[in-house]
Chain A
Amino acid sequence: MAETKKKGKKKEKEPDIVFFHPDLFEVPEDGSAPFLKGYRCKKCNQIDFPKISPCPNCWGEEFEMVALSREGTVYSATDIYIGQAGMETPYVFGYVDLPEDLRIFAQFEADVETINCGDKVEVVEGIIRMNNDGLPLKSYKFKKINE
């Protein structure tokens, strides 16, 4: 970052913090359903999530954003009772496989003992943790379909 901030100066606390990385997830302002952002390499057509540049397959450096499928299948899930320092437990995370041949690591919007291998889930926006100021940090999560 180019600009330097004066230490000690208290910044006004924002009520709403969105996940740190805008390349990952889109929550459309018009209220339509949120989606994960895949990146198609313009040279070899490989789709990656998250975006990695250059393309590890062909070293291409130009990409086109594609909205990934909102629904996927749980490959595996676990309930976390002792988690990262500062994170409230229990929380639930796992892998979701999408039709684009991608595997997404994500938290689930779910109670413990409710997510199983093979479950159908959809991507939603949710709170994944508190940030350093104690404010909720929002990102993508997955939620069971037909709950």
Chain B
Amino acid sequence: MKFQRDVYIAGVGETDFKRQKTDFDALGRQAAFQAIKSSNIDKPDIIQSAYVGNATNGLVTGQTVFTSLGMCGHMPIINVESACSAGGMSVYCAIKDVATGLTDISIGVGTENHSMHRASGSAFSPAMTDIETMHGAVMTGKYALRARRYMYETGATIEDLALITVKNRKHAANNPHAWFKGDISVEEVVNSRMVAYPLTLQQCCGISDGAGAVVVCTKEMIKKLGIEKPVKVNGSVVRSGPYHNRPRDITADDITEATAEQLYEESGIGPEDVDILEVHDAFTIAELLYYECLGLCKKGDGLKFLRDGQATYGGQCVVSPRGGMLSYGHPIGASGAAMIASQVKQLRGECNGYQVDPIPKIAMTHVTGGGLSGTEHAACTMHMLSAAW
């Protein structure tokens, strides 16, 4: 979006991500309250609009989150749904309010509890009215098709894909918010249960529960609140996925490429300047493809980028420093907001035990959303953030 004035992040919050008995509204409230308090806000009537991303937990989820914080009544609360992109999109909406002058301070939240709202542990699939769904499509399988094609074209192996899980779990080793973390070998990843060839269980994000929240505001508000480490929002882009029933290259990703291009253009920051990145690594293959789609390396060089250590500490760009979805699991409405929250903490040097060193200056986030027949993804949301102190 074209900003009409500068937008900053005052504070963020994230819950632990794992299977939880705490419902979505309490998780959302926990993250939101953390974000609000870390923004030095001490009264419920300061924030002027709220957006709450959620995918599967029902109706008026946002009001349910904010009621006991005493924040219903004075401001609009808008509920946002776009599958996995919902949380990122809610932050985008909050930014839009501030960037256009509609509000001086707003909050975006993403929250989801799958465990309490899902009886079975079967794979996610798009809506049953969808023709691909009728024919048995599941998201794991659709990513597996991308992996099969990538392997066919580049000679990559399952062992290569497994390196992504190994790297992200290592990044998450000391992250208290992450669920699956620490040492795992390539053999353990490859030999775990086959889900959709070549994707084994340890190459798929877990079904988890959690929330993230981000308070955004103007420069004046940053001063008024006394925020010492404001993070600047250099760009915020949401796009919808193009429909086409024609042959296309699924080792690329049209929606991610278009969103990234727009983000680089609008922020004036290119892929070579990005220090840390949270990417939609719901499956190992996705992260590998997105190195190329986001322009971190040339098309076809994703595997080399990974093998050369360019995606980890000391490399060109530390990808998934919090551990990514492969370590957090993926509560679909929450992930997009939580990745922004965790990136802000990295920029501020607040990630004790999993802090990227040297402390990064520029962070990027990427989250796609939803499968739909004829589109690779229904939505894509990306953000560019930088340290502004």
Contact = CB atoms under 8 A, between A and B. Distances in A.
A135 interface: no
Contact of B137 (A75, A105, A139): A105
Contacts of A82: 122-123, 138, 140, 193, 195-196
Interface string B190-219: 000111110000000000000000000000
Given A93-B141, A117-B152, A84 B136 contact: yes
A102 B246 contact: yes
A117 to B, nearest CB: 4
Contacts of B246: 101-103
Contacts, number: 104
Interface stretch (A10-18, A26-34, A48-56): A48-56
A76 B149 contact: yes
B248 interface: yes
Given A48-B245, A102-B245, A117-B148, A84 B123 contact: yes
Nearest to A48: B245
B186 interface: no
B122 A75 contact: no
B136 A103 contact: no
B195 A81 contact: yes
B196 to A, nearest CB: 5
B81 to A, nearest CB: 21
A79 B122 CA distance: 16
A87 B196 CA distance: 14
Interface string B243-272: 101111010000000000000000000000
Given A82-B123, A82-B196, A85-B120, A49 B245 contact: yes
B131 A50 contact: yes
Given A82-B196, A84-B125, A85-B120, A128 B135 contact: yes
B56 interface: no
Contacts of B132: 105
A112 B195 CA distance: 13
B245 A106 contact: no
A60 interface: no
A116 B197 CA distance: 12
A80 to B, nearest CB: 5
B148 A105 contact: no
A77 to B, nearest CB: 6
Which among A20, A105, A139 has the greatest number of chain B C-beta atoms within 10 A? A105
B134 interface: yes
B145 A78 contact: yes
B19 interface: no
B201 to A, nearest CB: 8
Contact of B135 (A78, A79, A107): A107
Interface string A52-95: 00001000000000000000000111111111110100010111
A113 B148 CA distance: 12
A128 B137 CA distance: 11
Which among A48, A50, A56, A80 has the greatest number of chain B C-beta atoms within 10 A? A80
A101 to B, nearest CB: 5
B120 A103 contact: no
B375 to A, nearest CB: 12
Contacts of A75: 149, 247, 250
B36 interface: no
B131 A24 contact: yes
11 contacts: A19-B134, A48-B245, A79-B197, A80-B140, A81-B195, A82-B195, A83-B123, A83-B136, A101-B246, A107-B135, A129-B134
Interface of B: 120, 122-123, 125, 131-138, 140-141, 144-149, 152, 193-197, 243, 245-248, 250, 373
Given A81-B195, A139-B135, 13 more contacts: A50-B245, A76-B152, A78-B144, A84-B123, A84-B125, A84-B138, A93-B135, A93-B136, A95-B145, A103-B245, A103-B246, A128-B136, A129-B134
Interface of A: 19-21, 24, 48-50, 56, 75-85, 87, 91, 93-95, 97, 101-103, 105-107, 112-113, 116-118, 128-129, 139
Pick the 7 closest A-B CB pairs, nearest first: A78-B144, A85-B122, A117-B152, A76-B149, A76-B145, A79-B197, A97-B247
